[in-house]
Structure 1
Amino acid sequence: MRIHTLDLRFQGIPGLIASYLVESGGEFALIETGPGSTLAALRSAIRAVDVDESAIKKVFVTHIHLDHAGAAGWWAQQGATVYCHPNAARHLIDSSKLIDSARLIYAEKMDSLWGDMLPAPAERLIVLQDNEGVPLGEVEINAWDTPGHARHHHAFVLGDVCFTGDVAGMRLEHSSYLSVTASPPQFDPVAYVQSVDRLMAAKFKTLYLTHFGAVSDVAAHLANYRQRITEVYERVAAGFREGISTEENRRRYAAAEHQAAMQAGVSEELWLKGESANVTSMCADGVRLYCEKQP
């Protein structure tokens, strides 16, 4: 088995969004498609590793957020089979609600950031249940239901490696600072920690993060990330109980995360780069929304 990390150079910036090309027994699968705006970069990266994109018959998306699955419909329209979570399929077939919601947030930046999200023909989609596997050459790709970031989230497991989507967070260029992926509307710290615990118990050799790249210090990474999920939740929950405004919550969240990143040795340039992929204001809103829903 061979795994190729494909850097999609989101907004022209390296190291923010990855797709993974898996080769086994003469078969090829793509894990994560990235957004429509990086489709040309993805296709170029596939050619750069001497693979004909027409040979890619299986495409796996961890969840339907635009930075992970925005180009899935294009692949389905080319004849590939797209595998997804049961709660994701309807949004890949008809992405209008997803796009309309995103446009409310990103406004005039929507098209330049995310590009087109084409509809996937229903007959090209296969939903996977928890622990269900798909053969690929000499290996099997297994779907693990891993909510917390989103209720429609899968991690994909191949033996002792795991493609984590957003459930293991975002790591900036191998720094010790981990950014919690917590954008609205489905952040759930209880489910999130349970999903991380499931990954920890598996003792994987390598994690492949969509944001970004291979992680070999798996136990330390997951232990750190587990702590970070609890940390950001407890911080926002305290402010919510205090009665602070949405804007003040965003300000405090950004200030605390910036301080944590600086203490971990992240440069200001790298911090701003991370903000391009996991905006602190959106994460602050995602955590606060969970607090607002609690009885």
Structure 2
Amino acid sequence: MRIHTLDLRFIGIPGLIASFLVESAGEYALIETGPGSSLETLRAAIRDVGVDEAAIKKVFVTHIHLDHAGAAGWFAQQGAVIYCHPNAARHLVDPSKLIESARMVYGAKMDTLWGDMLPAPADKVVALQDNERVPLGQVEVIAWDTPGHARHHHAFVIGDVCFAGDVAGMRLEHSRYLSVTSAPPQFDPVAYVQSIDRLAAAGFTTLYLTHFGAVSDVAWHLKAYRQRVQEVYERVAADFKAGLSAEEIRRHYTAAEHAAAKEAGVDGVLWCKGEDANVTSMCADGVRMYCEKCC
């Protein structure tokens, strides 16, 4: 098996969003497609590693947020089968609600940031249950139900490696700062920790993060990330119970994350880069929305 990490150079910046091309015994699969805005970059990256994009017959998306699955419909329209979580399938077939919600958030920046999300033909979308397996050459791709970032989230396991989507967070340029992916609306710290514990118990040798790339210090990463998820939840819950406004919570969250990043050795350039991939104010909103329902 060979794994190629493909840099989608989201908004022109390297190292923010990855797709992964997996090759086994002459068969090819793509794990994550990134957004529609970077589709042409993805297609070029596939060709650059010597693969005809028409040879990709299987595409796996961890969840249907636009930075992970925005280009999935295009591949489905070319004949590839898209594998996803059962709760994600209908949104790949009809992405209109996703697009509408994103447009409300991003406004005039929507098209520049995310591009088009084309509908996938219904017969090209296959929902996988937890632990369901899909053959790929000489290996199998196993779907693991891993909620926490989103209820419709899968990690994909091949042997001793795991493609973690957003359930193992964001880690740019191998820094020691782990940014919690908690954008609205489905952050759930209890489910999140359970999913992280499931990954940690498996003893993977490598995690492949969509944001960004291969991680080899898996045990440290998952232990530290588990702590980070609990930390951001407890911080926002305390602010929420103290009666702080949404804007005050956003400011506190961003300031605390910036301080944590600096303590981990992240300079100003890398901090700004991280903000392009995982906006802290939006993450604060995701945690706060959980607190509004459950605290």
Band of TM-score, shorter chain: over 0.9
Give the counterpart letter for 1:147 in structure 2: P
Give 1:82 shift.
0.3
Give the counterpart letter for 2:205 in structure 1: K
Aligned twin of 2:122: 122
Instruction: Look up the SS of the partner of 1:30 in the other structure.
Output: strand
Give the counterpart letter for 1:142 in structure 2: I
Aligned twin of 1:231: 231
Instruction: Look up the SS of the partner of 2:107 in the other structure.
Output: helix
Aligned twin of 1:10: 10
| Residue identity (%) | 78
Cα distance between partner residues in 2 of 1:21 and 1:175: 24
Give 1:95 shift.
0.6
TM-score, length basis structure 1: 1.00
Aligned twin of 1:271: 271
Give 1:120 shift.
0.4
Cα distance between partner residues in 2 of 1:259 and 1:294: 28
Question: Structure 1: where are the runs of 5+ without partners?
Answer: none
Aligned twin of 1:92: 92
For the pair 1:148 / 2:148, whether they are aligned, the reply is yes
Q: How does 1:184-223 map to 2 (within 5 A)?
A: 184-223=184-223
For the pair 1:50 / 2:78, whether they are aligned, the reply is no
Q: CA offsets per residue over residues 131-182 of structure 1, 9 Å max, x none?
A: 0000000000000000000000000000000000000000011000000000
Aligned twin of 1:288: 288
Give the counterpart letter for 1:190 in structure 2: V
Cα distance between partner residues in 2 of 1:97 and 1:5: 30
Give 1:232 shift.
0.1
Q: CA offsets per residue over residues 203-230 of structure 1, 9 Å max, x none?
A: 0000000000000000000000000000
Give the counterpart letter for 2:201 in structure 1: A
Instruction: Look up the SS of the partner of 2:201 in the other structure.
Output: helix
Instruction: Look up the SS of the partner of 1:162 in the other structure.
Output: strand
Aligned twin of 1:107: 107
Give 1:196 shift.
0.1
Aligned twin of 1:69: 69
The root-mean-square deviation of aligned C-alpha atoms, in Å, is 0.5
Cα distance between partner residues in 1 of 2:267 and 2:91: 37
For the pair 1:180 / 2:180, whether they are aligned, the reply is yes
Cα distance between partner residues in 1 of 2:252 and 2:99: 29
Question: Structure 2: where are the runs of 5+ without partners?
Answer: none
Q: How does 1:27-46 map to 2 (within 5 A)?
A: 27-46=27-46
Cα distance between partner residues in 2 of 1:51 and 1:172: 27
Give the counterpart letter for 1:265 in structure 2: G
Give the counterpart letter for 1:44 in structure 2: A
Q: CA offsets per residue over residues 64-99 of structure 1, 9 Å max, x none?
A: 000000000000000000000000001001111111
Instruction: Look up the SS of the partner of 1:4 in the other structure.
Output: strand
Give the counterpart letter for 1:223 in structure 2: K
Give 1:294 shift.
1.1
Give 1:280 shift.
0.5
Aligned twin of 1:248: 248
Give the counterpart letter for 2:23 in structure 1: E
Cα distance between partner residues in 1 of 2:203 and 2:290: 30
Q: CA offsets per residue over residues 39-63 of structure 1, 9 Å max, x none?
A: 0000000011000000000000000
TM-score, length basis structure 2: 1.00
User: Which segments of structure 1 move beyond 6 Å, counting only runs of 4 or more?
Assistant: none
Give 1:197 shift.
0.1
